[in-house]
Amino acid sequence: MTSAGTSTRSTSTWAPLRSPVYRALWIAQLVSNLGTWMQTVGAQWMLVGDPRA
């Protein structure tokens, strides 16, 4: 006897990115993180290049 709630379905790791809203949010977060990393590297580079630092 099988129950209705025990069906097994294989899902891909990339399945959430098929949702347009989730994909847009994920891409926006990626771009935001890249900008933060670039700002951090730029600020550190500027401080290292400052002779008074």
**Distance, CA of 40 to CA of 38 (rounded, Å):** 5
- pLDDT at residue 36, rounded to an integer: 98
Could you give the percent of the chain with pLDDT greater than 90?
Answer: 68
| Domain ranges (residues) in the chain | 18-52
What is the average pLDDT across 32-45?
97
Distances, alpha carbon 47 to alpha carbons 25, 38, 39, 40, 51, in Å: 33, 14, 12, 11, 8
Residue 53 and residue 47 in contact, taking contact as beta carbons nearer than 8 Å: yes
pLDDT over 70 for what percent of the chain?
83
Q: What is the pTM of this model?
A: 0.66
Please give the structure tokens belonging to residue 33: 């993180």
CB 22 within 8 A of CB 16: yes
